Amino acid sequence: MKRNVRSLLEELRQVEVERQALLQETARATKNPKRETFDFSEMDSYCEVKIARSTGKSLSIESPFFRKVEDVHGTKVKINGLWVENFASYDYLGLNQSDAIAAAVVSGLEKWGVSATASRLVGGNRTYHQELERLIADFLHLDDAVVMVSGHATNVATINTLVDQEDLVLVDSMAHNSIYEGIKSAHTKHISFPHNDFAWVDRKLSELRTSFRHVLIVIEGLYSMHGDVPEVKKFIDVKKKHGAWLMIDEAHSIGVVGDTGRGICEEQAVEHSEVEVIMGTLSKSLCSCGGFIAGSAALVDLLRYRAPGFVYSVGMSAPDAYAAIASLTTLVAEPERVSRLRQRSAYFRDRAVDAGLDCGDSAGFAVAPVMIGDSIKAVVVSNRMLEAGFNVLPIISPGVPNRLACLRFFITSEHTIEVIDTVVKTLARAIDDYELLDAKRIESTQLQ
């Protein structure tokens, strides 16, 4: 941190030279058809990982990723022997260590064992599968729901089942990787549209709609990177006008958005049944592992018989299903958790704005980014925050363009007002310190 800008530039130049050499070496090696062995360390994608790592090392910046977490207690985690407030957890409603949920999981384990032991097609629908699916469908006022063992795989399997080469998917440019992987696996034509721009989708469909059999529009209920939300009514108007389907990924919005946590449809006073496909995960507010699709009886029946990640994958285990059932039951029985989460999240955003921090377009829900605008700065500030007692991770290039680098806070219903006040103050100071040091570096370079 004490080096001046000239030496920093020299180091970056050196990193670039090494990067080019490594890429050339890999290209030479992989083009040789006579080689008998090929080491994974020569793969382009792995070279990129190594380069990113060595860039951090040569700038003496510790990687904030894969931090060693040794223990957890409430909103705190122990990292490298130090207890810190955790802002990197999806446990939005603070249920992860609840005694009632742990007891439910133990009872499921004792009755059914650890594994579902087979796919449901073969091994049968266990009663807890049906109970969980009915709970989810009722919660969202929809006909039916199906659960799968991973949220990511739920998106892949569902999109793969619904569309193929004759169809078109219009997908928000900020949508999650699992949605894009689903599109890739379906070999369907797709167009990524400017973030939240329903008017763009409308224009595009006016041009293209008749060339395709089915059109699927995919958006998220609460965007996981920048914490903003779509205008669902507008997307519904567009999909109705063009005879398209709408799919909403509610991974981060269930339990978080809407007065009683029923997601973006509740928030914006839209009937869930106006949306063809509602997707959600069990790994966030519902404190388990897995994903679900809720919708019409026909949609769910189709997925049960055709979705590859369901048909050809093991059924959900009892401990996971019991955790999700207990969490959803608690969510419904204790709506004050959702209210508290909404209040704490809005409080974080208000305090951050008061402190002069840039919260981007975030809507004041639990996904709460603070824009930093530069990847190296975001990593350095994240490391400073850890030293100061707060675990918050940066989102950096290539995950987002460098100018959109940010620190992403996940607020939970259990973060206290005092902790939020302190973390905001600490962050504002860490950013100021970084900028002060940067200004000094520039000054010292100009003097040389």
Ligand X SMILES: Cc1ncc(COP(=O)(O)O)c(C=O)c1O
- Interface residues with ligand X (CB under 6 A) are 150-152, 155, 176, 178, 220, 224, 249, 251-252, 281, 283, 291
For the bound state, the minimum distance from the C-beta of residue 284 to ligand X, rounded and expressed in Å, comes to: 7
Which is closer to ligand X, CB of 55 or CB of 196?
196
For the bound state, the minimum distance from the C-beta of residue 402 to ligand X, rounded and expressed in Å, comes to: 22
Distance CA 230, CA 196 (A): 6
For the bound state, the minimum distance from the C-beta of residue 265 to ligand X, rounded and expressed in Å, comes to: 16
- HSE toward the beta carbon, residue 233, CA cutoff 13 A: 5
Which is closer to ligand X, CB of 155 or CB of 317?
155
Distance CA 35, CA 42 (A): 13
Query: What six digits make up the tokens of 356?
Result: 């002069």
Residues in the chain: 448
Query: What six digits make up the tokens of 96?
Result: 């992860």
For the bound state, the minimum distance from the C-beta of residue 230 to ligand X, rounded and expressed in Å, comes to: 12
Which is closer to ligand X, CB of 152 or CB of 415?
152
| Side-by-side strand order, sheet with 393-395 | 367-371, 406-410, 393-395
Class of residue 41 by CB neighbours under 10 A (exposed 0-12, middle 13-18, buried 19+): exposed
Distance CA 64, CA 235 (A): 37
Which is closer to ligand X, CB of 144 or CB of 249?
249
For the bound state, the minimum distance from the C-beta of residue 84 to ligand X, rounded and expressed in Å, comes to: 22
Spacing of C-alpha 65 from chain mean position? 15
Which is closer to ligand X, CB of 151 or CB of 394?
151
For the bound state, the minimum distance from the C-beta of residue 217 to ligand X, rounded and expressed in Å, comes to: 15
The residue type found at 115 is S
Which is closer to ligand X, CB of 55 or CB of 227?
227
For the bound state, the minimum distance from the C-beta of residue 405 to ligand X, rounded and expressed in Å, comes to: 18
Q: How many CB atoms lie within 10 A of CB 103?
A: 12
State which residue has the least CB distance to ligand X.
151
User: What are the residues facing 368 on neighbouring strands?
Assistant: 409
For the bound state, the minimum distance from the C-beta of residue 179 to ligand X, rounded and expressed in Å, comes to: 7
Spacing of C-alpha 212 from chain mean position? 30
Residue 407 main-chain phi, psi, to 5 deg: -105, 130
- Outline where DSSP puts E strands in 221-308: 245-249, 277-281, 291-295
Distance from the first to the final alpha carbon of the chain = 18
Which is closer to ligand X, CB of 178 or CB of 375?
178
Which is closer to ligand X, CB of 196 or CB of 224?
224
